């Protein structure tokens, strides 16, 4: 059984930083891809419009946010990546201190 989660965050409003951020995402570090897959995330996509980003995650039954957070805290390469990404990202107004990607609430689904 796959579950889907959607998140959003903003990039800093700086065309050079946005271009650099996009470049990093053309070839994600292999340790980051491995960490994502090992956590039970089966698919992930990020979309960008202006400075607003939208991420869709498809996860399997082994995935939990708590397990992913623990694994990320213990992985120096993930910590290095997250620190680097803060150079480009900015928290949304509703974010708590240190919080980046905010989980979105689904308000509509097309039913058959």
In the chain the domains, ranked by start, together with CATH numbers, are 3-103 (3.30.70.100)
Give the C-alpha separation, 67 to 35, whole Å. Answer: 11
How far apart (Å, rounded) are the C-alpha atoms in residues 90 and 5?
A: 20
Mind listing the pLDDT tens digit of every residue in the chain (112 residues)?
Answer: 789 999 999 999 999 999 999 999 999 999 999 999 999 999 999 999 999 999 999 999 999 999 999 999 999 999 999 999 999 999 999 999 988 999 999 999 999 8
């Amino acid at each position: 059984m796959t579950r889907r989660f959607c998140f959003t965050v903003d990039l800093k409003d700086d065309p050079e930083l946005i271009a650099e951020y996009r470049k990093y995402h053309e070839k994600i570090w292999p340790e980051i891809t491995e960490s994502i897959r090992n956590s039970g995330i089966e698919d992930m996509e990020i979309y960008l419009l202006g400075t607003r980003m939208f991420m869709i995650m498809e996860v399997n039954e082994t995935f939990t946010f708590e397990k992913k957070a623990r694994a990320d805290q213990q992985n120096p390469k993930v910590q290095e990546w997250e620190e680097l990404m803060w150079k480009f990202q900015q928290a949304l107004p509703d974010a708590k201190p240190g919080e980046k990607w905010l989980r979105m609430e689904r308000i509509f689904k097309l039913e058959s």
